[in-house]
Structure 1
Amino acid sequence: MGNLKIEKTLNEAGKRNVVVVDEDYNIVEEITLFLHYLEEKGHSENTIEGYSRDLKEYFTWLNEVGLKFYEVRKADMFSWLEYLKTKVGKTDKEKSAKTKNKYMATIASFYRYYEVIGGFVTENPLTYKDDSKNRHFLVQKVSRKDMGFNFFRVKEKKSVKGKRLTREQVEKLYQGLEMLQSDESLNARNQLLFRFLYETGCRISEALGLRIGDYEIQTKVGVIKVKEHDPLYHKDHNIKSLEREIPVSRDIVFAIEDYILYHRPDDGKHLTIFVNHETSPGQYMIRDTITKLFNKLSEQVGIKCTSHMLRHTHGTELTESGFDMRYVQDRLGHNDVKSTSKYQHLSLEAKTTAYESFMRQRRSAELN
């Protein structure tokens, strides 16, 4: 097969696809079938591209050790883990448990697909299943055969809840944007984007895909309309949830209109609200541009900040203010309330305020 690489194609319907090809541009069909299955299940283009990158590395290892994917057994996976450690990505430092598990989850899903369709795989080399027939003595009739588990999964350290920014940090970061650029219009865009993410909790893809007309001003509030546009300008504009309307302050809608009227370059082709100012003025923005902006801002101010941290902060502040989880779920566009539950942890500031209130009540009821 030679060296593998990822290429992007257009199908008959004009939709973008990713494929893994060898050096002669022969498509790796085993991967293509699996990626098509993911597409049929409704996975986003970014997710499918992530799967393709992982499988490209896995099939490169298969070529190196001279195995077909259906010939791999559990004992072979230790060789794959060594390859992952020494030849994939940055090899000068140990890969995190999260990175290893991501690759393993992708490969396990790939084998599960071929287990289901049949004809190739008789054993998933990454999962363990208990085939014991003597289970009559179990109180609960659920075994590892029923659920299975990834034999090679690595225990991940619990992450410190550091995604939430304090109000003071948000203000410093917002002010720090002015120090990044001397151009007034570019500063206006950057500050509006920062404020929009913080005040709406939108995903960066939803903000970048927002178009002129996707908002309105009502009597007391403004409304942001998160919706899918067809055709998309770029895959980074894909929304990951159902379309929804988000109530916002009238002030931020006025700020959007002010930016469009006085600062936004217009190339006559693109209708996204947030556009490029320096390279290709008026063209839609992509995720990589935003990542670079937030990296530069974090370095300038000395506070780590990403677009997702602003979303996380917004969700946490809503829960701290006592909003019902169903409201937070709808506002953030979560399909599952389990995703919303991660915003339930309280900041030290919120816990301190609650404890001070408790102490005041306790003093009023002290025994004499």
Structure 2
Amino acid sequence: MKVQKIYVENKPYPLYILIDDEFKVVDKVMKYIKFLDNTGKAPNTIKAYAYHLKLYFEYLKQIGKEPDRVSFEDISNFVGWLGSPTGQVNVYHIAPQEAIRAETTVNVIINAVMSFYDYLERLGVFDGTSTFYNETRSPKTYKSFLYHATKNKAQKRNIFKLKVKKKLIKVLSQEQIKTLLIACNNKRDKIILMLLYEGGLRIGEVLGLRHEDVVTWDNQIKIVHRDYNVNEAFAKSKRERVVDVSKQLMSLYTDYIIYEYDDEVGGDYVFINLRGPNYGEPLRYHSVLDLFMRLEKKTGIIVTPHMLRHTHATELIRNGWDAAYVQKRLGHANVQTTINTYVHLSNDDMKGKYQEYLQRSENRSE
């Protein structure tokens, strides 16, 4: 099985299809991908779904089943197959084994498969998705503004969804941020780090920036969704937003344009390759990942692009920002996502509050 990138006439961005071992297009997946594209799914989402379905079809090949002939048990075994260290069906280990995929990763893959089967059922070629879901009458956690209008209606819940252990997100200290910035070899890399940390941008949003998105006179960055970028970096949301940044960041951007950026080859992309065979071309994801690997090796600080975004959001919450403001700044579609992800208490938070409690108690006793 292979995921193949293709370019379609009148489409400014690539699509992804699944090729079987005989180099034939898997027709059901191709039609499903076309459906995702027609309904406005982001190119990165379509790419991810194609790779998730590749895993599923590899599993189907192992068990000798066609996608429209699977049973409840087959999907259940697929969940186990995804977490199996051997990747084999019906292989059980006596000793505990570390899963090759985290629960969150398995859930994302299963969601893609469930979406695929929902599509097949709507086409009338599959008739078993009802066994893949439980029905519940009321959500256990967040109740939306219009909850009263739908509270008596049954809601579908994926029965194969694994329980995910709640983990505190990893953030960096101010000292670590400073160390990483000092370790950067050029102004371009420093701006990338500052946009991720100070602006809370996603890496796709950073790489997709054009010069017209940078409002230097008002210290603002516009996050604009575009259907196509040469470096295949896309903004996750189609909703445009504006992020305020510091004068220091804008000053660094101006220096970068003056001293490092080549106007003749750079075009309108903000971040380009400054050397090598790809000189002047827009920076791609793998180049940023290489940058973070170099920084980790140089400083000993374990860091990822998203960790800088997490750090920014956590600092805003700790400084008293309302979750609705943080949601808008980060570009979350739902404020509950912001609350679930960032409104958390670390051990240091608990320790600090307890120290405040002790201090107040001592003051009262004096």
TM-score by length of 1: 0.81
Q: Which amino acid aligns with 2:174?
A: R
Deviations 1:228-276, CA, capped at 9 Å, x for gaps = 3465223223342511111111121111010011012445253211111
Contact 1:205 1:236 in 2 (8 A): yes
Partner Cα separation in structure 1 for residue 326 and residue 161 of structure 2: 32
> Which shows bigger deviation, 35-44 or 348-357?
348-357
Q: Which amino acid aligns with 2:232?
A: K
Contact 1:126 1:150 in 2 (8 A): no
Contact 1:77 1:125 in 2 (8 A): no
Aligned to 1:334: 332
Partner Cα separation in structure 1 for residue 73 and residue 234 of structure 2: 42
Contact 1:200 1:246 in 2 (8 A): yes
Contact 1:205 1:239 in 2 (8 A): yes
Partner Cα separation in structure 1 for residue 306 and residue 99 of structure 2: 26
Q: Which amino acid aligns with 1:212?
A: H
Distance apart, 1:310 and its partner CA = 0.5
Paired residues for 1:1-368 under 5 Å: 4-15=1-12, 16-23=14-21, 25-77=23-75, 80-81=78-79, 83-84=81-82, 85=84, 86-87=86-87, 94-95=99-100, 96-115=102-121, 117-124=122-129, 127-129=132-134, 146-159=154-167, 161-178=168-185, 187-218=186-217, 222-229=219-226, 231-268=228-265, 270-279=267-276, 280-341=278-339, 342-347=341-346, 351-364=350-363, 366=364
Distance apart, 1:61 and its partner CA = 2.9
Contact 2:317 2:342 in 1 (8 A): yes
Distance apart, 1:12 and its partner CA = 2.9
Deviations 1:149-204, CA, capped at 9 Å, x for gaps = 44443333322x142112122222223335xxxxxxxx222122112211111111
Distance apart, 1:33 and its partner CA = 2.2
Partner Cα separation in structure 1 for residue 104 and residue 222 of structure 2: 34
Contact 1:74 1:126 in 2 (8 A): yes
Partner Cα separation in structure 2 for residue 83 and residue 98 of structure 1: 15
Distance apart, 1:13 and its partner CA = 1.7
Aligned to 1:182: none
Unmatched segments (≥5 aa) in structure 2:
92-96, 137-149
Partner Cα separation in structure 1 for residue 58 and residue 263 of structure 2: 45
Deviations 1:97-136, CA, capped at 9 Å, x for gaps = 3333332222122112222x142111128714579xxxxx
Q: Number of matched residues?
A: 340
TM-score by length of 2: 0.82
Contact 1:267 1:281 in 2 (8 A): no
Contact 1:73 1:125 in 2 (8 A): no
Q: Which amino acid aligns with 2:224?
A: K
Deviations 1:262-294, CA, capped at 9 Å, x for gaps = 012445253211111233112101111111211
Distance apart, 1:78 and its partner CA = 5.3
Distance apart, 1:315 and its partner CA = 0.7
Q: Which amino acid aligns with 2:108?
A: K
Deviations 1:306-359, CA, capped at 9 Å, x for gaps = 110101110111111111222111111111101211222245555555555555
Identity of aligned residues (%): 30
SS at match of 1:271: coil
Contact 1:189 1:274 in 2 (8 A): yes
> Which shows bigger deviation, 272-281 or 261-270?
261-270
CA RMSD in angstroms, aligned pairs only = 3.0
Unmatched segments (≥5 aa) in structure 1:
132-140, 179-186
Q: Does the C-alpha gap of structure 1 residues 126 and 97 become closer, same or farther in structure 2, counting only changes over 3 Å?
A: farther
Partner Cα separation in structure 2 for residue 201 and residue 54 of structure 1: 28
Partner Cα separation in structure 1 for residue 230 and residue 117 of structure 2: 34
Contact 1:241 1:335 in 2 (8 A): no
Contact 2:79 2:110 in 1 (8 A): no
SS at match of 1:246: strand
